[in-house]
Amino acid sequence: MSAPYVITISSDKGGVGKTTLATNLAIYLKALHEDLPVTLFSFDNHFSVDQMFRINGSGGSGNVANLFGGAVADNLVETGEYGVQFIASSGDLHKLRRELDNPALLAKALGQSRLGGIVIIDTRPDLDIFTQNALFAADRVVIPVKDAPSLANCRHIYDFFDSNGLSRRPLRILPCLVDGRIHYDGPFRDPYQLLKAYAINRGYRCMEGYIAKSPKVESLNTNPEGKIYPVLTHGRHTDVHVQLAHVARQLYLGMLDNQQRRLDEFQQNEFQAFEQRQSAYADRRLQIHPNCLVCGRSLVHENHIDPAGYFAQSSDKKILGFLEEECFTKLVFRYFYGARRTIEPNDPTWDLFRETAQRSYFILHRAPHTRNFYQQQLSFYRFDETGLEVSHKVIELQEFEKRLLSKERSDLFPLLERTLFDAEGRLGDTFLILRKVSTDLPEEILYDQSYDQFTTAMARISTQLP
């Protein structure tokens, strides 16, 4: 699926016919090629787009503000009149305006979409962050100008392109609202010729033709029903009809000429980033120890992971694995919280631990001064989510403990053997960090965002360990 061809209608001045142009061009382009998806939206909060295209009773799928909040553009699109798709306008853009400063957000959102065809963007008459985003994403920028001052204002758009290292090639001036009745003596016979000459003098490229000022077209916006009617359906006998058709045709041919889309690179980058994320996840998934790190029961299967309570990783990232909830909880109670009796899963203490564990990171590490081979000491730390130490306990490692009449091997040993011990059963500098996982979907912690969070916490904690 190739990226859509983006046409942005922009000018630094209001009342030059931007919205009229954007809405009508959508219809003319659709009329040129019925199978061509045409999507329209506006960062101007006049709701003209909605008034012209919304089919009664539809709506409610979101609006243009959502384009900046990570929504998938495809999900925001409504099917409108005349076969044109549109995204609803927003009256709340001013709230977002202060938060946004990245002109590439829209390019990303559209680049990842499956909209295809043509996207037409109407903008407000200034260079706010929404206009900047619309310019940044554009394959073609149509700049309506109606007089010399509005032409002088174009400089801001050109400056935006220059200062962002963008080619000026997409930019085109289009004289609009030109009064055909005015005639001059001298080399420029009418305002249209004059504007073109001005533009060319400044090195600006123009579209062919212009859009004339027409009382009929103006009246399509102002009628008792409060509807806005298109020129194609209600102004067919006007010059503007012919002029709009001509402009639409140029834009269409421009699209066919232009195989490389502005959004291609965003699609490409995103795609690569997506693939990298996928393969990083797959690598982590492959690295997972197949068994519970304490009891050795098989947990990790090719297509799923059995319910587990905790995820553990060694600080050198060589060992990744899961622990059954019961195994870890019992181990903590017995060795670090010094419980005299066995705590069972239905004990309230167990619930309390499970509850608070969700906000904790647990660390197993060689105790600061342990050197003696025969008497190693192990530190057990608990940190909260902000990386603050909550508790620290040091225990002597004893492989066997006397229990009643028999000797029993400590559960800590299998865990340490699978994680921190070297071949001689010695603790090194590496530590083990443990985190509660969602029981039903333990692998969730390996997903991008959660894993990022986890490694960030690990880095923060490691700076606090001796």
Which residues of this protein are in contact with ligand ADP, per CB under 6 A?
14-20, 177, 211, 213-214, 217-218, 221, 240
Q: Which is nearer to Mg ion, 16 or 171 (CB)?
A: 16
Contacted by 170, from ligand ADP, Mg ion, none: CB < 5 to 8 Å by type: none
Task: Say which residues have a Cβ less than 8 Å from residue 340's Cβ, sequence separation at least 6.
Answer: none
Burial annotation 1-28 (CB, 10 A radius, 16+ → b, else e): eebbbbbbbbbbbeebbbbbbbbbbbbb
- Tell the smallest beta-carbon distance from residue 229 to ligand ADP (Å): 11
Q: Which is nearer to Mg ion, 81 or 126 (CB)?
A: 126
Q: Say whether residue 443 binds Mg ion (CB under 5 A).
A: no
Contacted by 305, from Mg ion, ligand ADP, none: CB < 5 to 8 Å by type: none
Ramachandran bin of 327, using left for φ above 0, alpha for ψ from -120 to 50, beta for the remaining angles: alpha
| Secondary structure of residue 232 in the 3-state scheme | helix
Q: List the structure tokens of 272.
A: 């690569």
Q: Say whether residue 8 binds Mg ion (CB under 5 A).
A: no
Q: Which is nearer to ligand ADP, 145 or 294 (CB)?
A: 145
Q: Which is nearer to ligand ADP, 172 or 418 (CB)?
A: 172
- Cα–Cα distance for residue pair 73/261, rounded to 1 Å: 17
Q: Which is nearer to ligand ADP, 108 or 213 (CB)?
A: 213
- Tell the smallest beta-carbon distance from residue 16 to Mg ion (Å): 9
Task: Give the per-residue contact string, 22-51, with Mg ion (x = CB under 5 A; - = no).
Answer: ----------------------x-------
Helices (H), ranges, 112-223? 129-136, 148-163, 191-201, 215-219
Q: Give the amino acid at 125.
A: P
- Residue (of 238, 226, 218, 255) closest to 38 by Cα position: 255
Q: Which is nearer to Mg ion, 142 or 323 (CB)?
A: 142
Strand partners, 9: 122, 142
- Cα–Cα distance for residue pair 332/349, rounded to 1 Å: 12
Q: Say whether residue 12 binds Mg ion (CB under 5 A).
A: no
- Tell the smallest beta-carbon distance from residue 48 to Mg ion (Å): 7
Q: Say whether residue 139 binds Mg ion (CB under 5 A).
A: no
HSE (CB half, 13 Å, CA atoms) of 426?
9
- Tell the smallest beta-carbon distance from residue 240 to ligand ADP (Å): 5
Q: Say whether residue 123 binds Mg ion (CB under 5 A).
A: no
Question: Looking at 17-25, 175-183, 234-242, 354-362, which segment touches Mg ion (CB under 5 A)?
Answer: 17-25
- Tell the smallest beta-carbon distance from residue 18 to Mg ion (Å): 5
| Secondary structure of residue 90 in the 3-state scheme | coil
Query: Which residues form the interface with Mg ion (CB under 5 A)?
Result: 18-19, 44
